[in-house]
A and B are shown apart, each in its own frame.
Chain A
Amino acid sequence: AQSVTQLGSHVSVSEGALVLLRCNYSSSVPPYLFWYVQYPNQGLQLLLKYTSAATLVKGINGFEAEFKKSETSFHLTKPSAHMSDAAEYFCAVSENTGNQFYFGTGTSLTVIP
């Protein structure tokens, strides 16, 4: 079975600082990887997805993630944090074209003015 580990349930950064949210996955086959963001009282919104076309994936709102097979990682980064980035971020993996996704436990991002 798939599993996703997000290191750090809470991350705080200063406005303008680098955002780094960590995600490691376990998969016996090349996975599809996703990052979703959840704002308070809302559902999850797709930030970006990795589908093997390119290891560096660019998403919305200035976020990007790099797939590193040797490290089984898919960390999310943003060069400069904005107050509006404060939210819960979820890394997810699916094995194939099916719709059974496995989510990490989430990382709550706080941006300090």
Chain B
Amino acid sequence: KAGVTQTPRYLIKTRGQQVTLSCSPISGHRSVSWYQQTPGQGLQFLFEYFSETQRNKGNFPGRFSGRQFSNSRSEMNVSTLELGDSALYLCASSLLLAGGDGANVLTFGAGSRLTVL
């Protein structure tokens, strides 16, 4: 069973540019979440999508946006890049079970490492 796939793995941009990152979840997983990981701030929640709808959003400026397609694949976009946007962007998918033990386990991709110069 294929895991969560993120592309590209590495990318370099300059300030003011925009970037789009892609995430393909595990087959059958309909929930996709995005996190930003930096050495100083750790992992911070960006947003979560389920069935093409944004269900939760973290405390990030409007330059950060995302979407989910009907096949559950998700993209996130960062516009007008700033130096502080340099980070590892992690995507995670889950089944979002309605019952069971109630705990949804996140399965993470390897991440997209963005460097802004």
The prevalent SS among residues of A at the interface is: loop
Q: How far is the CA of A98 from the CA of B106 in the complex (A)?
A: 11
**Chain A nearest CB: distance from B47 CB in Å?**
9
Q: Is the CB of B55 within 8 A of A94?
A: no
Q: Is the CB of A43 within 8 A of B4?
A: yes
Q: Inter-chain contact count A-B, CB under 8 Å?
A: 74
Chain B 51-70 interface mask (CB, 8 Å, partner A; 1/0):
00001101000000000000
**Chain A nearest CB: distance from B19 CB in Å?**
19
Which residue of chain A has its CB nearest to the CB of B47?
Answer: A100
**Chain B nearest CB: distance from A47 CB in Å?**
11
Judge if B28 is at the interface, Cβ distance under 8 Å. Answer: no
Judge if B107 is at the interface, Cβ distance under 8 Å. Answer: yes
**Chain A nearest CB: distance from B31 CB in Å?**
5
A99 and B48 contact, Cβ closer than 8 Å, known pairs A43-B4, A51-B102, A104-B42: yes
Residues of B within 8 A of A94 (CB): 103-104
A99 and B110 contact, Cβ closer than 8 Å, known pairs A90-B43, A105-B42: no
Interface residues of B (CB under 8 A from A): 4, 6, 31, 33, 35, 41-43, 45, 48, 50, 55-56, 58, 90, 92, 94, 96-98, 101-111
